Amino acid sequence: MRAVLFILMVLIFFSCFEQTDCLLNNTNILKITLKGKTLGKDTTVTFISIRELKTPDNLYTNAPLGKIEIPLQIKDSITTIIFNYNEKSQSVSDTLRVSYRNQTRVISIDCGAYLYQLDLAVPKTNFDKTRVTSSVLLTTVKSNLEIFL
């Protein structure tokens, strides 16, 4: 009886490793961290509005933010974001254009295909300084881009 129980346990244990792991870590969310110009430390800015150029609605309105999450247009390879905020009692409007490459990956037959955004770059901006910290958009990444204000 113990031999049968042992064989049954071994079969159950090994059958667990036959299943494909469909753990997904892709995302289309661009994660931006704001940094101070002089010291490069994390900072918070109150934005009047943040919106994506092709959508009429604001993503953020009158929000003090230190980290910003922007959904990228997955049907395109470029997304333009417009930031409106006050700086030294003046209204400022800055534009950030990010480019990326969409790539479809098949994890397994059971899991199917998923779209990944790779090769993140900043081809155009009027912020003084930006830095790409991770060029692949993943859920496990804390920040893809730093903007120095």
Say what the pLDDT of residue 62 is: 96
Is pLDDT above 80 for 21? Answer: no
Taking residues 41-58, report their average pLDDT. Answer: 94
Amino acid at 84: N
Phi, psi dihedrals of residue 25, rounded to the nearest 5°:
-130, 15
Say what the pLDDT of residue 106 is: 85
Work out whether strand 67-71 and strand 112-125 pair parallel, antiparallel, or are unpaired.
unpaired
Is pLDDT above 70 for 18? Answer: no
- Residue 33, classed as helix, strand or coil, is strand
As a dihedral over the C-alpha atoms of residue 85, residue 96, residue 143, residue 22, rounded to 10 degrees, the angle is 130
Q: What is the mean pLDDT of the chain?
A: 88
Taking residues 140-145, report their average pLDDT. Answer: 96
Give the pLDDT band (50/70/90) at residue 7: low
- Residues 6+ away with beta carbon under 8 Å from 130: 96, 122, 145, 146, 147, 148
Is pLDDT above 80 for 23? Answer: no
Is pLDDT above 80 for 22? Answer: no
CB 126 within 8 A of CB 94: yes
- Residues 6+ away with beta carbon under 8 Å from 137: 26, 27, 28, 29, 30, 31, 72, 100, 116, 117, 118, 120, 144
pTM, rounded to two decimals? 0.82
Structure tokens of 136? Answer: 């692949």
Which of these ranges, 19-28, 41-50, 122-131, has the smallest mean pLDDT?
19-28
State the burial class of residue 27 (Cβ atoms within 10 Å of its Cβ: 0-12, 13-18, 19+): buried
pLDDT digit string, tens, across residues 114-123:
889 999 999 9
pLDDT digit string, tens, across residues 51-99:
999 998 999 999 999 999 999 988 999 999 999 999 888 999 999 999 9
Say what the pLDDT of residue 48 is: 96
Looking at residue 132, what DSSP letter applies?
E
